[in-house]
Structure 1
Amino acid sequence: MKRISLSCCAAMIAISTFAQNPDKALARVRYTFSHIEDTTQRDKPRTENMLLITGNNASVYTSYDKINQSANMQKQIQEQVKAQAGSGMQNIKIESRSTKPISQVDYFFFANEHKMITKERLFNNYLVEEPAETINWKIAKDTMSFSGIHCQKATAYFKGRNWIAWFATEIPFQSGPWKLNGLPGLIVEAYDEKKEVQFQFAGLDKVTEAETVKDEKGELSGMSIKIVGLETDNYLGSEIKLPANAIKTTRKELDKLKEARDKDPQGFMQAQMAANGINGSFKSSTVRAPGSVKIAINNPIELPEKK
């Protein structure tokens, strides 16, 4: 517990907000993510609904399933805080009924600055800024349409895999799913040559002026209310911006915190609450489907680079 507290305090020293101007959200792209994490069970890929919100310069790639899960958690917390009002102690219990893993990392890409900022939540929001890696795309003449969107083919070797991407020059954003970016048009669909990792196009919506007006009135972003250190990830507003009052840290320090969390989740959560000046206890339980087994990962999305 003492070690966890020291780790939390060390990370809290670096608290700050990145000086990055918000960008206007122009489009939301939905993907169905599929990943064969265990090559001994190729018929059981991990799947998840993902979301890319993009503007002229900035984009954020996140889990759509996580947004929905966070909204449910927020509702539980609000109900319990309201019920315990005036008691002097807050005993919060969150029950997650998810039976599959959900991506906890969000990727912010800033094209003009050529940088990537990853965001992870370990009670607080932690941000790690790194230069965006340059992908050496080779553009081919092949074309294909996805739901009426005309796309062109590009290939590249990146993070240990040979990637095929289909991008739309008629949608002039340099962004795409995960860490895939840098083409002269939105990456609509992408997969590696073995199709062990796939980002399949599931739809595109323009951010309308009506939504922007609602967001300025607080009607869309009203869910993002910070309660006992938990904040709903709601990227459905009119701007793409980094979370306020996030903790700027390094990859090394973040890995230390994650190691402490994995060794003692309950103690880690308690230490984080104390570091944030919150009195009370925190209990979390996850309800899994009967017979569900944790998937072994022998085929991560990033493979060792070929020498």
Structure 2
Amino acid sequence: MKKIAVVALLIVAQISMAQTNRFVYQVTMKPNASDKKDVKTENAYLDISGEKSLFYSENRIKRDSILRSNFQSGGERGVNREQMESLRSNINYSVEKDKKSQKTTFKDRIGRDIYAYEEDRPLDWKVLAETTKIGDYKVQKAETEFAGRKWTAWFTTDLPYQDGPYKFTGLPGLIIKVEDSSGDYSFDLMKNYKISDFPEMNQFGNIIKLKRKDYLKQQEKFREDPMSFLAAGRGGGIAPPMRGGGGNPNPADMRKRMEERIKEEAKNNSNPIELQ
């Protein structure tokens, strides 16, 4: 009986170790440089396992689930435009951190494809003596400058993780809160729970790996001339059929609407999280 009990405990321990821990952050953003009263708030997940962590938008997973369901049905049902619009996100990127290699990979969609680069700027933290309590956690203050902004973070050693939202990592604990000095961006831990594994994400189009400087060039090219960028697309990002519009839209009208939408999105994202 003792042997059975020991084996059972080992199995439980292995299952527990294999689980992924999900930390839910509330992300508060002021992405429009000309309208700082326009505050966007949404949730994002930081999923952590023993090998890696992944930071991404909650709305992305919800959208992916709808698209996957539509694909599995052969596209017969189409996708409800209003529903998809309600799940729009200002967090269109994902950030993966590899525990073994200590590499941080940033992925973002530009046009039809996903561009991925390895972050080449290490975070240089200054850990301060100041402590306080946020929720149930005793936290300590740290500061850094990154990508043109000054950041203040509060981390805890109450949890066995050295990680944080977005690209923030490198502190001796989990980041509970981090915000920039201008108050434009803030990440606040709301809750955490265990999940069985990392979610499956849709990857429409190609994944193009490149250097960060080349990603910035592609991003600028897209802003300047999005339609020609899409026309010369390397991938096969296929838009699913939408319900709610009715009829077959004129290609010229579609182009005009897309240009207007991209210009509006550029205006609404004129205050990005990274300024440099």
TM-score, normalised via structure 2 length: 0.69
State the distance in 1 between where 2:98 and 2:117 align.
11
Q: Deviations over 1:32-70 (max 9, x none)?
A: 111112243222112221110113442111001111121
State the distance in 2 between where 1:65 and 1:122 align.
18
RMSD across aligned positions (CA): 3.9
Structure number with the higher helix fraction is 2
TM-score, normalised via structure 1 length: 0.63
| Paired residues of 1:124 and 1:247 also in contact (CA < 8 A) | no
Q: Which has the higher contact order (CA 8 A, sep 6+)?
A: 1
Letter in 1 for 2:151: W
Instruction: Tell me which of 179, 202, 205 is aligned to 2:190.
Output: 202
Instruction: Tell me which of 27, 38, 44 is aligned to 1:44.
Output: 38
In structure 1, stretches of 5+ residues that fail to align are: 1-22, 85-91, 225-230, 234-244
| Paired residues of 2:31 and 2:268 also in contact (CA < 8 A) | yes
Q: Deviations over 1:101-148 (max 9, x none)?
A: 342211111244221112335698746342553211111122222220
Instruction: Tell me which of 241, 254, 262 is aligned to 2:226.
Output: 262
Residues 282-301 of structure 1 aligned to structure 2 (within 5 Å): 283=241, 294=265, 295-301=267-273
Paired residues in the alignment total 236
Structure 1 position 156, deviation (Å)? 1.1
Is 1:105 matched up with 2:99? no
Residues 1-307 of structure 1 aligned to structure 2 (within 5 Å): 24-79=18-73, 81=74, 83=76, 95=81, 96-98=84-86, 100-121=88-109, 126=114, 128-207=116-195, 211=196, 224=200, 232=202, 247-251=207-211, 252=214, 256=218, 259=222, 262-263=226-227, 267=231, 272-273=235-236, 283=241, 294=265, 295-304=267-276
Over the matched positions of the two proteins, sequence identity in percent amounts to 23
Letter in 2 for 1:250: L
Q: 1:303 to 1:182 in 2, by over 3 A?
A: same
| Paired residues of 2:59 and 2:87 also in contact (CA < 8 A) | no
In structure 2, stretches of 5+ residues that fail to align are: 1-16, 246-260
Q: Segments of 4+ in structure 1 off by > 6 A?
A: 122-125
| Paired residues of 1:163 and 1:192 also in contact (CA < 8 A) | yes
State the distance in 1 between where 2:53 and 2:107 align.
13
Q: 1:93 to 1:203 in 2, by over 3 A?
A: closer
